[in-house]
Amino acid sequence: MSENKIKLISVESRKGGVGKTSIALSLARILSKKGKEVIFLDFDLSGTELSLATKALEQRSTWANSFNYVKHKNKNGKNEEINLVDLFELYMTGQIPLGLKWIESNPINQHFTLQYNKINIFSSGLSRSDNEREYVSLKNPSILYDDLHSMWFLEMIKTLLDGARQNLSDEKELVVIIDNSPGYSGMEPVVEDWLTDFGPDRAKFLFVSSSDVQDIIATRESIERVHQVYRDKWDTSRVFSSIYNKDVNIEVDEYPRFRRFFNRLAEDNETKSKQRSKSKKAKIFQDDCLSFYQPSANLGESYCEFPEKYIHLIFNRIPHFISTDFSEYLKTVLIFQDKSFINIVKNANNRKIEFDGVVHSLYVSSTFIDKIKQGAENINNEYHEYVTSLQINQDSFSDAKQNEYFIAINRILLFDEYLYAAYCGIEGDTFFNFIPEDVFLIKNIERFSSIIGGNALVIKRTNIAQTAVKEMAKIAVEAYSRLVSPGLLNELMNHLNIREKGFGFSSENEYSKVLNYIANIFAIQFGIIKLDITDKSIMERAASFLKLHSILLMETIKREKIEGHIVEWLSNIFHRKVDKLNYELVEFYIKELHIQGLTLGSFMEYYSVIYDLQRRITFSERDAEFIKNIVIAKLSDKLSDEKAESYIKKVVFHSTSSKEIDDIIAIVKHIPDSFSVDPLFIVQESVKNIIEVDWEIQK
Amino acid sequence: MTNSLTYQNFTLDGYYNALRNGNLKNVSVGLPFFKIDKNAYNYFLSNGSNVNYSEIRKRLDEKTYCQFRSSITFCRCHEVYFPAYRFLINECINDEWLSMVDWHKAFHRDHLIHQPLTAYVVQELLTGNVFKEILGMGDTDETLLDRIAKITAEDGDTLYLREYYQAMCGNTDLFLRNQCSRMRLKWLIMDTFLLAALFHDLGYPFRFLGTLREKLDLQRKHQNYWYLGVNEIGKVFNQRLVLFPLRGYQKPDITTPDSWGQRVCKLIEQSMAKTHGLPGALSFLYMTDILRSFHDLSDYPARRFRIEWAAMAILMHDMAGIYAEIDKDNHITQKHDYLRLSLNRDPLSFVLTLADLIQDFARPSASFSNTSKHSVSVAFPKRCAGVTLEWDSGTRTLGIYYKYRNSSDYARNRNEFVPRNQILFFDPQVGYLDYQDASILNVKLCSEKI
């Protein structure tokens, strides 16, 4: 069988909870739907048992019957699902057969069988004792921290996969997805070393990162590490082919990995010559995995030069506090990039969903309607009807339907993985090549991702092996340049003290200066840098961000076609603010509002709350003052929610509708009682919203 | 030729730097060295002793405890070389640091710290500038490692090694003159050196192997070479490289007289009684053998060769007392001249023995004092602060300087250690180390007060 019909994908992340498993499962599903045979290995040996998650997923119609849990006979002779940790214990004592068979039907009573067209799951986790009360620590710590055991563990996996491969018919393709534990521990070093043996045409790496600056940096380093391993191995193989069995001497840089890999290539060659003489069939996963690096292989150069061909990154879980700007920016970029993208913009403050009707309709028609036409299974009827009605009414999104849409969108998100699969349109071997040059797919589903138990695939990018932060900054510049008018961009440039020529930049230097500058702002915004009024540089950077923020808000106001006199008033405010914005102003905000110890991110969230209030109800300076007082009173625990509500109802009499007043009350309630513990605040707020939204769904 | 001096220093800081830079750990190119019987390994894993670190901590000062922990960690990193160490190490720690450290015995064994330090010294010697000067005469960049690789691959005196390797795998490709083979040979030598250095004092706690054996063997019925007797040892290890030096580095052939076998047995008997070299080498092989996967020869012979070769060096590093006798007045009498170590015939043992002699620095030694009638306190002063090699190219003399801060330690070294070892190891005519092959005319041991 051709070696090229096997692919291995390692899904990794530096931090836990960034959505590794969900993405890995989505990928498995996509590939399974595309006709590949999929084996899913849960290498998060000390983490949550994968089968618990997949069984929960199976309760949903879209995931029903997606999985096959590979079984084996336990000590009592009964069939039970394979747990890699237990299996390893049996393997160590030589008690298991390792020949996996492939079958078509449901293998209820069969052990060691894989099923076609299913995601074949090898779960893992700590075993429990018979009374299910205590975890029994068997080999777990050893596997994680001991060279020999990790080596044997991998040996077992290789034997398993080799059996699976040999029993698979020739026309089928096998994909092995490895879901790793977070960080660079446990099996990961061994897995990376193993997978890079195969060469980038057969083994791929998928990294998942959050937008946290710490995570981005760590992920970048991991990506560079994997790339470096490939490069080193490739370079070593070239040296090897130059000098193996030849009487030439060339200068060699002997670093440890070079030594190890060189020696392995030499040993591999020795083994092969032995095997030829004995005509023994090579086991691909066991022995013959280095063919990519053999002198006859001409694939290397084209792969090793381009890490984006085998390393990919997904930015996931963009935090809530940057949603306003980010979604604006994402929308612009995405509409520009791809017309069929759905962008769900959720207003951070009143939980009202706004979306672009046209875009939404296009999305629906391009995915679900097609699926319906094809007679796809597993889409429930109720949803079919809804989608069909959406298509009919795509040009008339009345206000009355908004609430319905809101619920519907939650439903759509329940089908998230399926949508993703449909959207990607992955074909054949090019399953990683679907990502175009730049940003490809962004789904900003924010907090909803937590409700559905899935994750938002937010940004996919190629070329990330260089510097992720700078790349993000580049996106930002591109985004801002599309978002704002030429005049405003000019103004932005002026604020950043950068001369500007037309739309472009006069030199590479200027461009990279902007990149660096915005990268810094992003770093503060995403990161954990605390605002410190004694640190001038941080305050100045914060002020710069406020400038950008204000400029963008102004632009939004203009585009929203708000009544002329309001625009005028807001323009005055913002122009004044933009003129005066400096670190003293940030200092003023912090002091005035008694909000110490905040990151800029949450400060901005807070700032936008006030802005939102002002924007909605402020027609005069007096009202602005009123809002500020409410906020301050609330923060200093002098005003309860109830009192604030009655206050607003009495005072804000000039709002256009009772709905507006309700909005204002909701916003005031949204202001937390204390900002002192910043991360906690974000978590609490997120959880609160999740609970509320969840309740609405049930209703 | 003008006189010029070259120096090389060995200190605890140097060792820590080597650890920090990964120089000591990253040598290995072919792990593991043999296929392991997973079942046996796991059996031992679940039946071995545990170490009570908190008890050890009570007995040590902060610095010594840190040094101790770093050594343990370093040794554990090398379990893949020698998997049995995983079980043995706990017995060693319990023995050396818990059972023996009390007022009954002032002498404190510190081999877990000494062995990694020796590995560091070996590594420094192999690539360091002193031997570059000695071997290259200042003209070439040939390191000691390069020379040893050349000796192993080409020299007539090392033919026994090549023949042994050929008997293992049927070819001698590893010893070809091309760049590829020579690079791989050098890595193999580095690995073997590290392996031998890390476990060279394994014979010291050999009787605690007895404890381990009783725990494990009663149930598993493993053959135990320990009590087989001298003749049996001779038979069991007859084919193994470890016994080659006792036969003058030769394999027996059909003309070998029977009496020679008896002489070897006599030598084994003496070595078992007087040295820790042979018990160490045999323990090393024994512990390896019981973990080797039965009848599985699918691993790579070059990897197993390391084990055999290292065992030989472990034996020979402590055979000076068998090779010659030295009386109270430091007069030496050669007993078995064929055991004399030379660089050209047994480079590994030669360098390991030299390194073992050099490594006297930073070894903690227990010192007890009564604090009251009912209590005693223990401290772990490091007697030797560092060792410096000095090469004088004019006189072709290698000086080994032991440096002391404390006067009494200095005096003890100068009066006891130096005079005895100067004769036993470095006498130009009959010393255990024959350094003529290395173009050294004289070796001088010195004690220095700093």
Q: Which residues in chain A are contacts of B180 at CB distance < 8 A? A: 240, 243-246, 266
pLDDT of B217 reads: 55
Out of A91, A151, A245, name the one closest to residue B180 (CB): A245
- Identify the top-confidence range among B60-64, B270-274, B350-354: B350-354
Q: Which residues in chain A are contacts of B30 at CB distance < 8 A? A: 260, 263-264, 267
Q: How confident is the model at residue B315 (pLDDT cuts 50, 70, 90)?
A: very high
- Identify the top-confidence range among A450-464, A664-678, B218-232, B248-262: B248-262
pLDDT of A72 reads: 79
Rounded CA gap, B80 and A151, in Å? 10
- Identify the top-confidence range among A295-304, A688-697, B51-60, B78-87: B51-60
Using a 10 angstrom Cβ sphere, with 0-12 exposed, 13-18 middle and 19 or more buried, the burial of residue A248 is: exposed
Q: Could you read off the pLDDT of A560-612 as tens digits, one per residue? A: 444 444 445 445 544 444 444 444 555 555 555 444 444 444 455 555 555 55
More confident call, A650 vs A519:
A650
Q: Let me know: does B215 contact B47? Beta carbons within 8 Å.
A: yes
Mean pLDDT of B239-268: 86
Mean pLDDT of B247-254: 83
Q: How confident is the model at residue A550 (pLDDT cuts 50, 70, 90)?
A: low
Rounded CA gap, A342 and A334, in Å? 9
Q: Could you read off the pLDDT of B155-185 as tens digits, one per residue? A: 999 999 999 999 888 888 889 988 999 999 9
More confident call, A396 vs A667:
A667
Rounded CA gap, A663 and A665, in Å? 5
pLDDT of A423 reads: 31
Q: How confident is the model at residue A181 (pLDDT cuts 50, 70, 90)?
A: confident
Asked if A277 is an interface residue toward chain B (Cβ–Cβ < 8 A), one would say: no
Q: Which residues in chain A are contacts of B187 at CB distance < 8 A? A: 259, 263
Q: How confident is the model at residue B343 (pLDDT cuts 50, 70, 90)?
A: very high
Does the pLDDT at position B324 exceed 90?
A: yes
Q: Nearest to residue B118, comparing CAs of B55, B19, B194, B225?
A: B194
Task: Give the best residue of A90, A147, A277 to mutate against chain B (max B CB count within 10 A).
Answer: A147
Greatest CA separation for chain B:
71
Using a 10 angstrom Cβ sphere, with 0-12 exposed, 13-18 middle and 19 or more buried, the burial of residue B261 is: middle
Q: Which helix (H) or strand (E) holds B426?
A: helix B418-426
**Apex A626 CA angle, A620 and A628, nearest 5:** 110
What's the half-sphere exposure (Cβ side, CA atoms, 13 Å) at A606?
A: 28
Interface contact flag, B178 A260, Cβ < 8 Å: no
CA distance A146 to chain B (A): 9
Interface contact flag, B29 A93, Cβ < 8 Å: no
Q: Let me know: does B55 contact B147? Beta carbons within 8 Å.
A: no
Question: In A593-676, which ranges are continuous DSSP H helix?
Answer: 600-617, 621-635, 641-651, 658-670
Interface contact flag, B42 A92, Cβ < 8 Å: yes
Interface contact flag, B30 A263, Cβ < 8 Å: yes
Asked if A92 is an interface residue toward chain B (Cβ–Cβ < 8 A), one would say: yes
Interface contact flag, B178 A246, Cβ < 8 Å: yes
First to last CA, chain B: 32
Residue B270 makes CB contacts below 8 A (sequence gap 6+) with B322
More confident call, A502 vs B189:
B189
Give the mean pLDDT of chain A: 58
Least confident of A149-158, A543-552, B139-148, B248-257: A543-552
Least confident of A678-682, B35-39, B395-399: A678-682
Q: How confident is the model at residue B408 (pLDDT cuts 50, 70, 90)?
A: confident
Beta strands per DSSP E along A74-215 = 79-81, 101-103, 113-115, 119-122, 127-128, 135-136, 174-179, 203-209
Q: How confident is the model at residue B442 (pLDDT cuts 50, 70, 90)?
A: very high
> Minimal Cα distance from A243: which residue of B?
B180
Question: Which of 94-113 (A) contact B at CB < 8 A?
Answer: 94
Out of B27, B39, B187, name the one closest to residue A93 (CB): B39
Interface contact flag, B180 A240, Cβ < 8 Å: yes
Mean pLDDT of A370-392: 46
What's the half-sphere exposure (Cβ side, CA atoms, 13 Å) at A133?
A: 1
Q: How confident is the model at residue A442 (pLDDT cuts 50, 70, 90)?
A: very low
More confident call, B84 vs B271:
B271
Least confident of A88-92, A249-253, B370-374, B396-400: B370-374
Share of chain B above pLDDT 90, in %: 35
Does the pLDDT at position A153 exceed 70?
A: yes
Interface contact flag, A256 B45, Cβ < 8 Å: no
Using a 10 angstrom Cβ sphere, with 0-12 exposed, 13-18 middle and 19 or more buried, the burial of residue B18 is: middle
Asked if A151 is an interface residue toward chain B (Cβ–Cβ < 8 A), one would say: yes
Task: Give the best residue of B21, B24, B27, B29 to mutate against chain A (max A CB count within 10 A).
Answer: B29
CA distance A247 to chain B (A): 5
CA distance A41 to chain B (A): 23
Q: Could you read off the pLDDT of A225-235 as tens digits, one per residue? A: 888 898 899 88
> Tokens representing B313?
């060096």
- Identify the top-confidence range among A270-274, A451-455, B217-221: A270-274
pLDDT of A449 reads: 30
Interface contact flag, A249 B184, Cβ < 8 Å: no
Does the pLDDT at position A633 exceed 80?
A: no
Mean pLDDT of A109-113: 75
Rounded CA gap, A429 and A3, in Å? 13
Q: How confident is the model at residue B312 (pLDDT cuts 50, 70, 90)?
A: very high
> Minimal Cα distance from B42: which residue of A?
A92
Q: Could you read off the pLDDT of A351-361 as tens digits, one per residue? A: 222 333 222 32
Interface contact flag, B42 A259, Cβ < 8 Å: no
pLDDT of A546 reads: 58
More confident call, A250 vs B30:
A250
Does the pLDDT at position B375 exceed 80?
A: no
Count of A-B CB contacts under 8 Å:
66
> Minimal Cα distance from A264: which residue of B?
B30
Interface contact flag, A243 B179, Cβ < 8 Å: yes
Asked if A266 is an interface residue toward chain B (Cβ–Cβ < 8 A), one would say: yes
CA distance B421 to chain A (A): 37
Q: Which residues in chain B are contacts of A240 at CB distance < 8 A? A: 180
Q: Which helix (H) or strand (E) holds A440?
A: none
Least confident of A410-414, A678-682, B41-45: A410-414
Q: Which residues in chain B are contacts of A260 at CB distance < 8 A? A: 28-30
> Tokens representing A336?
């520009």
Mean pLDDT of A39-65: 75
Asked if A77 is an interface residue toward chain B (Cβ–Cβ < 8 A), one would say: no
Q: Could you read off the pLDDT of A390-425 as tens digits, one per residue? A: 444 433 434 444 333 333 332 222 222 323 333 333
The DSSP secondary-structure symbol of B403 reads E
**ipTM, 2 dp:** 0.87
Q: Which residues in chain A are contacts of B173 at CB distance < 8 A? A: 270
pLDDT of A659 reads: 58
Rounded CA gap, A220 and A186, in Å? 20
Interface contact flag, B184 A262, Cβ < 8 Å: yes
> Tokens representing B295?
């009848």
Interface contact flag, B300 A270, Cβ < 8 Å: yes
Q: Let me know: does B334 contact B430? Beta carbons within 8 Å.
A: yes
Mean pLDDT of B347-359: 95
Phi, then psi, of A123 in degrees rounded to 5: -85, 175
Q: Which residues in chain B are contacts of A90 at CB distance < 8 A? A: none
Least confident of A11-20, A396-405, A446-455, B272-281: A446-455
More confident call, B403 vs A453:
B403
Asked if A145 is an interface residue toward chain B (Cβ–Cβ < 8 A), one would say: no
pLDDT of B212 reads: 54
More confident call, A35 vs A577:
A35
